[in-house]
């Protein structure tokens, strides 16, 4: 399966490495608007400069038919790249978020539905061994009904680039992973959302890098989320730390270890599922399977649109100070 990667700097590194490890996917070419980034990556990954183009139409004209597009551009450019690919009949695996705005995401979904061409989203946190272990336990029913979920995330990354200029960097670029995991774990989406966001005085982000959110899901489960991208210590893992309060006990994720305590019992760590692939490796193979054998992906746009709606409802709640109601 031959693919074009659009955007090879930043997060593009993860996809360059994932494709290089794959035995079923290979690069036909690349799109990169920055000459500086292109030159660096040519040296770093031994890329052929003749296969790097300034735009997707140029790449398609020069390279001929390809089997897929990996869209690793900043969110505000996802729509244009994706629509061009779908119009050309080419399946797309796009980095999250699906788009930089809800309207763009809806337009991308409409085009995917209109063309019948695959559009799937790189929600890589869903496919970690930790997430898949938790999902299996929750789906088994042994813990009984879930009453409440609490998620806490604290990191202090210095990315540089577009993230530090975003108005809601934590919510749109990071918490989207945790919100998507909530939907994945709970098999539901929020019915109402209330939240506050802020930017501490020491923040190196232009927009709000901290948030606290309360949600009521459609199945009446209450979820709370507290997060910051400007933590000055005692950081959590990227997966965050989680607590599920259930009828028959408690499940927690602490420092990427999963624990289950049934009523009146001890709380030993749970062995994680043994998985062949995680992260970008899983998503790339997932994309390959979908393109070559029509298998459903882990995060198709038709499902992921609800995560995007959730994210922008949190933004609206933080901006307005109001409780945002979502359609069931």
First CA to last CA across the chain, in angstroms? 39
What tokens appear for 219 in the block? 């199945």
pLDDT average, residue stretch 93-109: 96
Distances (CA, A) of 277 to 145, 281, 299, 312: 30, 6, 16, 31
Contact 22, 68 (CB under 8 A): no
Do the domain assignments include residue 285? no
Burial class (CB within 10 angstroms; exposed 0-12, middle 13-18, buried 19+) of 234: exposed
pLDDT value, residue 264: 79
Report the side by side order of strands in the sheet with 222-228.
269-270, 257-262, 249-254, 241-246, 146-154, 222-228, 210-217, 190-198, 324-325
Helix (H) or strand (E) holding 30: strand 26-31
Q: How confident is the model at residue 232 (pLDDT cuts 50, 70, 90)?
A: very high
CA-wise closest residue to 239 among 304, 152, 122, 147: 152
CA-wise closest residue to 26 among 48, 10, 41: 48
Q: Percent of the chain at pLDDT above 90?
A: 94
Among the three residues 71, 99, 122, which one is the final residue of a domain in this structure? 122
Do the domain assignments include residue 91? yes
Distances (CA, A) of 41 to 31, 36, 321: 12, 9, 44
Assess whether the previous peptide bond of 215 is cis (omega < 30° from 0): no
174 and 320 belong to one structural domain: yes
CA distance 89 to 191: 35
Segments forming the whole domain that contains residue 33:
2-122
pLDDT value, residue 328: 64
79 and 20 belong to one structural domain: yes
138 and 184 belong to one structural domain: yes
Contact 207, 166 (CB under 8 A): yes
Q: Percent of the chain at pLDDT above 70?
A: 100
pLDDT average, residue stretch 197-206: 98
257 and 237 belong to one structural domain: yes
What tokens appear for 305 in the block? 């649109």
Contact 45, 20 (CB under 8 A): yes
Predicted structure pTM score: 0.92
189 and 320 belong to one structural domain: yes
Q: Which residues contact 294 (CB under 8 A, 6 or more apart)?
A: none
241 and 257 belong to one structural domain: yes
Q: Which residue has the tokens 């890329």?
A: 47
Total number of domains in the chain: 2
133 and 266 belong to one structural domain: yes
What tokens appear for 274 in the block? 């043994």
Do the domain assignments include residue 303? no
CA-wise closest residue to 163 among 9, 16, 45: 9
Please write the tens of the pLDDT for every residue from 58-82: 999 999 999 999 999 999 999 999 9
Q: How confident is the model at residue 289 (pLDDT cuts 50, 70, 90)?
A: very high
* Backbone phi, psi, residue 190, to 5°: -65, 145
Do the domain assignments include residue 317? yes
Please write the tens of the pLDDT for every residue from 87-100: 999 999 999 999 99
CATH code, domain carrying 110: 3.40.50.720
Among the three residues 122, 141, 170, which one is the final residue of a domain in this structure? 122
CA distance 268 to 282: 28
Counting DSSP H helices and E strands in the chain, the numbers are: 10, 15
Taking phi first (over 0 means left), then psi (-120 to 50 degrees means alpha), and beta for anything else, what does residue 47 get?
beta
């Amino acid at each position: 399966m031959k693919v074009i990667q659009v955007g090879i700097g930043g997060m593009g590194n993860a996809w360059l490495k994932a494709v290089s490890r794959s035995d079923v996917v290979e690069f036909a070419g690349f799109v990169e608007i920055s000459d500086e980034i292109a030159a660096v990556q040519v040296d770093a990954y031994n890329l052929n400069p003749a296969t790097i183009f300034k735009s997707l139409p140029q790449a398609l004209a020069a390279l001929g038919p390809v089997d897929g597009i990996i869209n690793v551009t900043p969110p505000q450019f996802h729509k244009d790249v994706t629509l061009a690919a779908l119009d050309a009949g080419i399946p797309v695996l796009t980095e999250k978020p699906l788009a930089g705005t809800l309207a763009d995401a809806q337009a991308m979904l409409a085009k995917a539905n209109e063309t019948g061409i695959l559009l799937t989203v790189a929600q890589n946190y869903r496919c970690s061994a930790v997430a898949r272990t938790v999902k299996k336990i929750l789906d088994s029913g042994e813990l009984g009904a879930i009453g409440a979920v609490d998620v806490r995330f604290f990191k202090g990354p210095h990315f540089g680039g577009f993230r530090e200029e975003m108005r809601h960097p934590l919510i749109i670029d990071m918490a989207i992973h945790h919100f998507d995991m909530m939907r994945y774990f709970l098999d539901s989406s929020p019915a109402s959302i209330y939240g506050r966001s802020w930017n501490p005085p020491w923040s190196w982000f232009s927009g709000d890098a901290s948030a606290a959110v309360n949600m009521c899901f459609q199945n009446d489960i209450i979820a709370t989320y507290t997060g910051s991208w400007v933590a000055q210590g005692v950081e959590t893992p990227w997966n965050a730390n989680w607590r599920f309060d259930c009828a028959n006990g408690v499940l927690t994720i602490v420092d990427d270890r999963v624990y289950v305590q049934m009523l009146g019992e001890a709380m030993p760590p749970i062995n994680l599922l043994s998985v062949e692939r995680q992260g970008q490796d899983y998503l790339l193979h997932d994309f390959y399977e979908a393109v070559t054998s029509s298998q459903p992906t882990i995060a198709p746009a038709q499902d992921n649109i609800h995560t995007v709606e959730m994210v922008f409802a949190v933004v609206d709640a933080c901006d307005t100070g109001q409780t945002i109601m979502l359609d069931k």
